Structure 1
Amino acid sequence: MSSLGGRTPVVAATVLAALILLSSASSANAATTIDGPIDLGTATPFAVLGASAVTNTGPSVLNGDVGLSPETSVTGFPPAVVNGTLHQTDAVAAEAQADLTTAYNVAAGLTPLQSGLGDLTGASLTPGVYSGGELALTGALTLSGTAESVWIFQAASTLTIGSGAIITLVDGASACNVFWQVGSSATIRTGAQFVGTVMADVSVTAQTAATVTGRLLARTGAVTLDTNTITAPTGCTTEPGTVRTSPTVTSAAPPSGVVGTDYSHTITASGTPSSTYTVGSGSLPPGLTLNETTGVISGQPTAPGTYTVTIVATNGTQPDATVAYEIAVAPAAISEVPAVPAPESGEAGSGDQLAESGVEPGATPLVAFLALVAGGLMIATSRARRSPSAA
């Protein structure tokens, strides 16, 4: 893995499975990314924030605000010293809890660069997202990067920092940008030297003489302290990251078309920001075009057949969504020539006139002609018999 400098994206979590649509659709799993540190919102100035209680034993020193919401039990202040403001069940603490929940969910959604981790002892980690079930540190962990580098650790269950464990930042790495999202509870044991912001779904416990350069934030449970020094990071210059989600095609497969008939179908994709759409391979049926901004396939097909086309949805966050379709186009329907109705009785050209010549109505033209010829011959023969000179 390479170092994360400036605003290089931090690879993040799978939030949507790729949707397979008609024929040989193929798309990598969508991912959510963030290109900077987690935004803590109004929870940023807190060294300690609890939900059910904040309890201290001994002369702890807290460099930052201390808050509790929604419960009211804050004990051990003094002897603890708060170099900040104590927000006990007030609107500020309530808002900080709300922002903590938002930050927790963002961190929990990120896809790790490396997963399945357990004890981090001995590791030297470059910036990225790391996950495990029960994360632990029993020895030394080194984080190497720049002042804008970001590390996000996801513990699906617990986080346990052993007695005397130490986290070291090198090459300009900053405690401002180290985050620990914990699915249940975190424990920092005696004498440990911990770095980063803990966002625990339940509770956080710091045992005797543990030091924290960061924050201990508990969403639903208590924060318990014992002669600790906790210093919330200050002077953080890196802007909070923007969350981006790679696209996944969500629309149904395009319908069939008919030659010469208007056609319209819209390709849609989830993801942030919005996607643009291009033809990756194959081709649309002749006569149809794809609007790259709206995803609308429209026009009038000009040739029948079955056409294979690959549509690619892109929003600048990898992976792109690539989906293959088969679009069938049927020939245009052939209209039947309407039959000419037979003339009504009494109309010009009807069979009644032929009847005067001895031709029955409804007779075919050939029969009528022959009947007229025969009639004429009979008349001529009769006249010849009566007039020899004419004969």
Structure 2
Amino acid sequence: MVAGLPTQALAIATPVPLATAAGFSVLAGQGVTNTGPSVIGHDLGTHPNPAISGFPPGLVLGAVHAADAVALQAKADLVQAYNNAAGQATDFALPAGIGAGQTLLPGVHTAVAGVGLTGDLILDAGGDPNAVWVFQIPEALTTASNSRVLLTNGASACNVYWQIGSSATLGTSSTFVGTIMALTSISVTTGTNIEGRALARNGAVTLDTNRIFLGGCATGGTTTGTTTGTTTGTTTGTTLGLIGGTLIGGPSVNLVGGGTSGNVAGNTSGNTVGNTAGNTTGGNTSGNSAGNTTGGSATGGNDGKPDHGKPDHGHHEGPGKPDHGGHGEQAGGHYGYADKPTVHEG
């Protein structure tokens, strides 16, 4: 008979899905207050209280979301993440006092009351870069001055989560690792650094000359860019074809009689043929008697002189409609289509 050796229970801790809250280094419910030159590596936000003070001298390297829609969504995602962490099944009991060189393996570590951290706490991944720690603390978390959370054998701060049932207070000049998800508030005292996040559901986050960064953790978040350009060009010309005798993009120009061959040949080259002999072959039978001799309506027509009393009865646009399309500039600022100023369209 071979005696069985005791084995460690299989750790069941799984990464906590932070969703959009992953992009925040600091997130609060009742505002963020800072003293001194703190540096926040990613986004800072608060909702519903928009109060943010102490920046500057503090510096936020990400975006600031003061009670906006982004902060609202991140807070909703934080609630889901908090509940996920709190609902994971226990692997190990977590004593009220931790640190002093203590080593903890991956898994879900559950306390029955508040926890105090003194000295060094070592998290050992045993060579597994995907190892996860979830700490379930139903009351407060307090760390002593100069205390440290240390990572070894492939452990990553991205996979360490602290679910705190009330508030967290980190002692002066301490080093902390992991994402803090506190139900109430978080106080990060003078000189303390966090490789992770400080996320408070309902209370405030207080900072004092701290550095909070995410290392190589994926930050998730929302789309940060918007469409920055619009269509810069518009249609600058009109279609010069004819559909059913109508010019597209301009007024109705219903052609009568010989308009098809007269205007195609005449207008294309400035009515050179039609207007030379009084529009005889261009379709405008009566013409303008020897006006339009060289240019036709396309190059000025009528020598640029208005003919107010003599409409062209030989080429009407329709019954009772004189053809003003061949005129040059007229008194009162009116223009023929060929000589219209470029600022006019149609």
TM-score w.r.t. length of structure 1: 0.52
Matched, 1:142 2:126: no
CA distance in 2, matches of 1:68, 1:3: 41
Q: Aligned letter for 1:170?
A: T
Contact 1:50 1:223 in 2 (8 A): yes
The share of aligned pairs that are identical, in percent, is: 45
- Mark the CA change 1:144 to 1:224 in structure 2 (over 3 Å): closer, same or farther: same
**Matches of residues 352-371 of structure 1 in structure 2 within 5 Å?**
none
Match of 2:102 among 123, 127, 143: 123
Contact 2:22 2:218 in 1 (8 A): no
Residues 229-281 of structure 1: CA deviation (Å, up to 9, x unaligned): 000243449xxxxxxxxxxxxxxxxxxxxxxxxxxxxxxxxxxxxxxxxxxxx
Structure with bigger strand share is: 1
Residues 125-159 of structure 1: CA deviation (Å, up to 9, x unaligned): 11001111111211100001122100000111000
- Mark the CA change 1:116 to 1:179 in structure 2 (over 3 Å): closer, same or farther: closer
Moved over 2 A (4+): 1-4, 232-237
CA distance in 1, matches of 2:7, 2:16: 20
Matched, 1:210 2:192: yes
- Highest relative contact order (Cα 8 Å, sep 6+), 1 or 2? 1
- The residue that corresponds to 2:78 in the other structure is 100
CA distance in 2, matches of 1:120, 1:165: 11
Contact 2:48 2:67 in 1 (8 A): yes
Q: Aligned letter for 1:81?
A: L
What secondary structure is seen at the aligned counterpart in 2 of 1:106? helix
CA distance in 2, matches of 1:231, 1:128: 24
Q: Aligned letter for 2:71?
A: A
CA distance in 2, matches of 1:110, 1:139: 27
Give the superposition deviation at 1:10. Answer: 3.9
Q: Aligned letter for 1:115?
A: A
- The residue that corresponds to 2:154 in the other structure is 172
Residues 262-310 of structure 1: CA deviation (Å, up to 9, x unaligned): xxxxxxxxxxxxxxxxxxxxxxxxxxxxxxxxxxxxxxxxxxxxxxxxx
CA distance in 2, matches of 1:98, 1:65: 16
Could you list the runs of 5+ residues in structure 2 that have no partner in the other structure? 1-5, 220-346
Matched, 1:38 2:20: no
TM-score w.r.t. length of structure 2: 0.58
- Mark the CA change 1:143 to 1:116 in structure 2 (over 3 Å): closer, same or farther: closer
Could you list the runs of 5+ residues in structure 1 that have no partner in the other structure? 12-33, 238-391
- Mark the CA change 1:2 to 1:52 in structure 2 (over 3 Å): closer, same or farther: farther
Contact 1:119 1:137 in 2 (8 A): yes
**Matches of residues 195-274 of structure 1 in structure 2 within 5 Å?**
195-236=177-218
- Mark the CA change 1:102 to 1:173 in structure 2 (over 3 Å): closer, same or farther: same
Matched, 1:160 2:139: no
CA distance in 1, matches of 2:168, 2:51: 20
Contact 1:2 1:126 in 2 (8 A): no
CA distance in 2, matches of 1:2, 1:83: 46
Matched, 1:78 2:48: no
CA distance in 2, matches of 1:108, 1:58: 34
Q: Aligned letter for 1:182?
A: I
Q: How many residues align?
A: 211
Give the superposition deviation at 1:3. Answer: 8.6
Match of 1:69 among 47, 54, 57: 47
CA distance in 2, matches of 1:229, 1:2: 40
CA distance in 2, matches of 1:54, 1:199: 15
Q: Aligned letter for 2:29?
A: A
CA distance in 1, matches of 2:115, 2:88: 16
Give the superposition deviation at 1:190. Answer: 0.1
Q: Aligned letter for 2:120?
A: A
CA distance in 2, matches of 1:68, 1:235: 21
